[in-house]
Amino acid sequence: MALPVVAIVGRPNVGKSTLFNRIVGERIAIVEDRPGVTRDRIYSKAEWRGRIFSVIDTGGLDIGAEDEIVQRVRHQAELAIEEADVIVFVVDARDGVTPADEAVAELLYRSGKPVVVAVNKVDNREQADAMYDFYRLGFGEVYPISSLHGTGVGDLLDAVFAHFPEEEAEPYDEDVIRIAVIGRPNVGKSSLVNAILGEERVIVSPVAGTTRDAVDTRFEREGQAFVLIDTAGLRKRGKVYETTEKYSVLRALKAIERCDVALVVLDGQQGIVEQDKRIAGYAHEAGRAAIFVVNKWDIVEKDDKTADRFVEKIRDEFAFMPYAPVLFVSAKTKQRVHKILPKVVDVAENHAMRVPTHLVNDILAEAMVLNPPPTHNGKRLRITYATQVAVKPPTFALFVNDPELMHFSYERYLENKIREAFPFEGTPIRIVLKKKS
């Protein structure tokens, strides 16, 4: 199910990034008191009134500026507007309505999207009175806020919530395995889709970025139903501003949100680049099962150790995803492509696996005997009870005396013990700490 998308836009230095951080509850965007610091769209998820939604932070819209970086930032913001279901237009109460605000408003009129005006930096009565000037922008009700202090943000989010599209029912049955094919442009994703399907379902072109949208293809293999989602190539940040790439990044992220298993396609000839790690990180953070698919293996010069060295490189570069298996294929010659779907079925089952509570507690009790929990300032971590509370990904709640006493290295040790005991290949595991009352 696609999440509603909220884009935060406005001219430079009105407090967009501070509002973004306030809404998502983390300091993700760089906040600095000078224009142009936010160079690219930044995505995150937030929740309001039980509804999860995506938030896009954008660079400032400096409509008339000629500087190349400013123009790129402006184009990023324009793309965010196109992707959004609702737009939060941030203005500055201290400055009043400026010509730049009016220029942004004109751009927003043309978008045809719902617009909610947030009058920021309202910290006293005098600034509250100044907000009435912004009614002349023509978007109806305006909402005074202080993104720095959080005042008024709840009312603003209520107004945003009112414009969310209706929740759509999941179009596929629970037993359908949804596969997202992700990777940077030109690693051979569309060719891989065609090789898996055994027919030319997707246009294949040697030009990077040909696939502009996410396309669903439903099929069956040996009685198992699948949906294959071919996503647009994810470009390096800073290169997403090309007009033809309008929806590609967000659509790919939406595909990841919808899938059970992400096939992270790497280029065997080019090797691993920084953008590959960013793309794989999207799937990991979303809690999706994942398989590394090293494509173009037919044209790699190799000896009997080449594959082992590549796996070692993957484990080193993607240290945050040690659970993801690696397959070496050639979409062009169909070499080993037949191994992909059986592996997808395996990791999808692991992603949805439940472990009985008594077994979880037995494994953790044994782990604590072998390696007792650490102490901090004379206090020792005690884990009194554990249970699996969710699947997709498998999530375990640990009831402890003090969550602050859990060191990340000990948490990783416990996760490794769980993985040794149960077949969780291909899926991330989440551990949630709860203070025992």
CATH code (residue 389): 3.30.300.20
- What pLDDT, on a 0 to 100 scale, did the predictor assign at position 75? 65
Domain end point (choices 348, 375, 408): 348
Please tell me whether residues 297 and 369 are part of one structural domain.
no
**Is residue 169 situated within a structural domain?**
no
**Is residue 376 situated within a structural domain?**
yes
Please tell me whether residues 80 and 120 are part of one structural domain.
yes
- What pLDDT, on a 0 to 100 scale, did the predictor assign at position 166? 86
Please tell me whether residues 247 and 314 are part of one structural domain.
yes
**Contact, 394 vs 260, CB < 8 A?**
no
Please tell me whether residues 69 and 191 are part of one structural domain.
no
Please tell me whether residues 188 and 258 are part of one structural domain.
yes
Per-residue tokens: 249:
């990044």
**Is residue 72 situated within a structural domain?**
yes
Please tell me whether residues 25 and 122 are part of one structural domain.
yes
**Is residue 171 situated within a structural domain?**
no
User: Which of 175, 177, 217, 212 has the alpha carbon at shortest distance from 195?
Assistant: 217
- What pLDDT, on a 0 to 100 scale, did the predictor assign at position 252? 64
Q: Which residue positions form the known binding site?
A: 10-17, 57-61, 120-123, 183-190, 230-234, 295-298
**Is residue 86 situated within a structural domain?**
yes
Dist CA 361 CA 302 (whole Å): 46
Query: Into how many domains does the chain fold?
Result: 3
- 281-308 burial, b at 16+ Cβ within 10 Å, e below that, comes to ebbbebbbbbbbbbbbbbebeeeeeebe
What residues in the chain have per-residue pLDDT under 50? 29-41, 203-213, 233-248
- 164-200 burial, b at 16+ Cβ within 10 Å, e below that, comes to beeeeeeebeeebbbbbbbbbbbbbbbbbbbbbbeee
- What pLDDT, on a 0 to 100 scale, did the predictor assign at position 39? 39
**Is residue 311 situated within a structural domain?**
yes
Please tell me whether residues 114 and 242 are part of one structural domain.
no
Dist CA 186 CA 204 (whole Å): 10
Q: Which residue positions form the known binding site for GTP?
A: 10-17, 57-61, 120-123, 183-190, 230-234, 295-298
Domain end point (choices 101, 131, 161): 161
- What pLDDT, on a 0 to 100 scale, did the predictor assign at position 349? 97
Please tell me whether residues 154 and 228 are part of one structural domain.
no
- What pLDDT, on a 0 to 100 scale, did the predictor assign at position 73? 55
Q: Which alpha helices (DSSP H) does 198-298 contain, by range?
A: 248-258, 274-285
**Is residue 304 situated within a structural domain?**
yes
**Contact, 248 vs 209, CB < 8 A?**
yes
Please tell me whether residues 247 and 157 are part of one structural domain.
no
**Is residue 170 situated within a structural domain?**
no
Please tell me whether residues 272 and 408 are part of one structural domain.
no
Domain containing residue 35: 5-161
Dist CA 297 CA 337 (whole Å): 11
Output the domain CATH number for residue 106.
3.40.50.300
